[in-house]
Structure 1
Amino acid sequence: MLLIKNTNVYTPKFIGKKDIFICNGKIACIDDSISINLPNLEVIDAKGAVAIPGLIDKHIHITGGGGEGGFKTKVPELMLSSLIKGGITTVVGLLGTDSTTRSVENLVAKSYAFREEDISCYAHTGAYKTPVPTITGDILKDIVFIEPIIGIKLAISDHRSSSVTKNKLAKIASAGRVAGMLSGKSGHTTLHVGDGKKGLEIIYEVLNEYDTPITFFQPTHVNRNKELFKQAMQFAKDGGYIDLTCYGGERAPRYMVKKMIEENISLEKVTMSSDGYGSYSSYDKDGKLLKMGVSSVEAIYDELVNFIKDGFSLQDALPFVTTNVARSIGLAHKKGQIYPNFDADLLILSKDFSIDYVIANGKILKDNKGYIKKGTYENI
């Protein structure tokens, strides 16, 4: 049991200074003043601090990305402490280019490992290519019967993808939708969008001919270039989710959100993710690899702080990494808010927005005395 006293609470809406009582991994009560005398109750006096929901990152390569430059360029698996330092309490793991030396089985096993280490972790079946790699041999069965799997990963408009056809994309998305209906999961298809000329066109080809709702197509990396983002703004206008990757410079999510505000576009279906532990790469006109690096999982929290520095209020910036994300992946009933009966995932921030405490499923994974929980093999 845990009692947080005197903290300024953003649910993500600001509700003032409150006490928060946590029991059995859930938020049991939020009130102006809570007085409880119980054995084994831990109390945090958070006077002057801010409490926000734990961040949800829907796009992290938890088993490592990369590999486009040969075996030595395979990114290693993500370790627990990196998630904690980034304030991430819920993560969705997925594959990328490499589904040959990596597998959906690896991904699900890593998801279970993070769960054992107190992080809420989910996964996608699939990768860049078609036929979609699965565990059971069937997209529907993967989502329905394998608990951590909530959706599908696929790539479009990218020279590393399998150049999926309109009909095949429609079948894949439909399988996810039906699986979601049967299992109570989101069943959406996360679409990696590359720099290809067609951008989101193939999604509209499916929407114009088939009946799958637009919300089951969730394109990511849509701020990678100007033309693609123009398409993404129209996609958002049409009611679809778009996911902004934490790029730096003029492509940063905060600048994209400002453009959407200027265009009077609703922000309710805009999410932000790190693409953490995925490799970023550039190629010449002949397809030769020129440069590559690794994305940080801490980028999502850094960008949240940049939103604040750039004039956004905290309550206006938080939905992009909390409530909007929870809704997009079918977890809005228990994730993304500081609210009674929700999972006790929250961050306590100091006045300078550094992270003092990370609490996931009611357990303290980081505190203001320097403690950070390490993964099983991080202490060796």
Structure 2
Amino acid sequence: MIIIKNIDVYSPDYIGKKDIFISGGKINLIRDNIDINHEDIKVIDGSNKILTPGFIDQHVHITGGGGEGSFKTRAPEITLSKLTTSGITTVVGLLGTDGTTRSVENLVAKAKALKEEGISVYAHTGSYEYPTITLTGSVKKDIVFIEEIIGAKTAISDHRSSSMTNTQLAQLASDVRVAGMMSGKAGILVIHMGNGEKGLNPVFEVLKETEIPIKTMRPTHVNRRRELLEQGFEYAKMGGIIDLTCGIYDELSPKNVVKEAENKGVLSENITISSDGYGSWSKYDENGNLIKIGVSSVSSLYKEFKAMVNESEIAIDRALSYFTSNVAKALEIYPKKGCIAEGSDADMIIFNNDFCIDHVIANGRVMVEDGKVLVYGSYE
């Protein structure tokens, strides 16, 4: 049991200076003053600090990405403290280019491991390739019967994808949609967007030709180039949800894109931000030869939030929404996740006034205290 005293609370909307009582992994009470004294209750002094929901990173290669420059370029699996020290208390794992040396079985096992270590984890079946790789042999069965799996992943407009037809994209989106309805899950299709000239055109064409709801298909990396971003804005204005990736060069960084989106009349609730952590970034020459490769960090999520507030002077509550409530609503796990409210999971970050991470609490357990890791993963 924990009581956090006298702290400024953003839910992500600012709700004032409060005391918060945590027990059983949940937020039990939020009051102006909570006066409970017991030796088993841990008291955290929140004076001159800020409390927010924990970040939800919905695009992390938890089993490692890469592999596009031969076996030596396969990224390692992520470790627990890499996530918690970045303020991430909920993560969604997925595969990328490599669905051959990596598998959905491996992905689900890693998701279960991270859950055992203390954070909340979901996953998507599939990878860049089509036909979609699965665990059970069926996209529908993966979503319906595997607890952690809430959707699927595919890729379009990318030389590493399987060059799906519109019919195949529509069939996959339909399967994901129906499986979500059957299982009470989000049922979403995450679509990796590459640099191809077609951009989002296949998605627009599927929407025009079918009855698939627009929020079923979730394009990500839409800020990787200007033309794709403009299509992303159009998609969001139509009611779709677009995902921005951290680590993109400055002009198209999320902190700049969200301001531009507001000026263009794009609803902020239709935008989310993720890290693409532990996935590889790569550059190719005009002949398709790999010339440079690296690995993205989940810490880019926290760095982007801090830059939005400190550099772009975006209001704290608005900046927070892109990493918390917007994501939770998009994944259909709100208000269990993504907010500070009575009955919600006790997933939260305590920041110092300079927005350095002081504490991270996941499912009611203190993972980081005074900026130091308390709970490490099994092999850290």
Q: TM-score range by the shorter chain?
A: over 0.9
1:11-90 matches, within 5 Å, as: 11-90=11-90
Residue 369 of structure 1, CA deviation: 6.2
Segment drifting more, 48-57 vs 362-371: 362-371
For residue 372 of structure 1, report the CA deviation from its aligned partner. 3.5
Distance 1:306 1:231 in 2: 25
The Cα of 1:259 is off from its aligned counterpart by 1.0
Matches of 1:83 and 1:15 in 2, distance apart? 27
TM-score by length of 1: 0.98
- 1:308-319 correspondence to structure 2 within 5 Å: 308-309=309-310, 310-319=312-321
1:265 Cα offset (Å):
1.5
1:305: which partner in 2? 306
| Distance in 2 between residues matched to 1:140 and 1:285, nearest whole Å | 39
Alignment-derived partner of residue 205 in structure 1: 205
Please state whether the residue corresponding to 1:321 is helix, strand or coil: coil
Query: For 1:49-101, what per-residue CA distance to the aligned partner results, in whole angstroms no more than 9, with x for missing partners?
Result: 00000000000000000000000000000011100111000000000000000
Contact 2:250-2:256 at 8 Å conserved across structures: no
Q: Distance in 2 between matches of 1:371 and 1:196?
A: 42
Asked if 2 retains the 8 angstrom alpha-carbon contact of 1:81 and 1:372, the reply is no
**What SS does structure 2 have at the residue aligned with 1:17?**
strand
Deviation at 1:371, TM superposition (A): 3.5
Residues in 2 aligned to 1:11 and 1:149: alpha-carbon distance in whole angstroms: 27
1:279-314: CA deviations, max 9, x gaps?
A: 100101111001111101000010001100211010
Q: Distance in 2 between matches of 1:248 and 1:334?
A: 34
Alignment of 1:113-192 (within 5 A): 113-192=113-192
Report the residue type matching 1:170 in the other structure: A
Correspondence for 1:255: 256
Post-superposition Cα deviations, 1:231-274, rounded to whole Å, max 9, x if no partner, equal 00000100000000002321210111111111121111100000
Deviation at 1:370, TM superposition (A): 2.6
Q: Give me the CA root mean square deviation.
A: 0.8
Counterpart CA distance in 2 for 1:76 and 1:118 is 20
**Residue 38 (structure 1) shift:** 3.1
Q: Is the 8 A contact 1:244 1:273 kept in 2?
A: yes
Q: Distance in 1 between matches of 2:296 and 2:127?
A: 18
Residues 116-155 of structure 1, C-alpha deviation per residue, up to 9 Å, x if partnerless?
0011011000000000000110111000000000000000
The residue number in structure 2 matching 1:353 is 355
Unpaired segments ≥5 residues, structure 1: none
CA contact under 8 A between 2:9 and 2:16: conserved in structure 1?
yes
Identity of aligned residues (%): 53
Q: Does structure 2 conserve the Cα–Cα contact (< 8 Å) formed by 1:10 and 1:50? A: yes
Question: Which runs of 4 or more aligned residues in structure 1 lie more than 4 Å from their structure 2 counterparts after TM superposition?
Answer: none
Q: Secondary structure at the match of 1:268?
A: helix
CA contact (8 A) 1:84 1:372 kept: no
What is the alpha-carbon distance in structure 2 between the residues aligned to residue 370 and residue 241 of structure 1?
35
Q: Distance in 2 between matches of 1:33 and 1:332?
A: 26
- Cα pair 1:282 1:290 within 8 Å, conserved: yes
CA distance in 2, matches of 1:44, 1:369: 14
Count of residues in Structure 1 that have an aligned counterpart in Structure 2: 378
Aligned residues of 2:81 and 2:373 also touching (Cα < 8 A):
no
CA contact (8 A) 1:125 1:152 kept: yes
Gaps of 5+ in 2: none
Shift of 1:180: 0.6
Q: What is the match of residue 338 of structure 1?
A: 340
Aligned position for 1:273 = 274
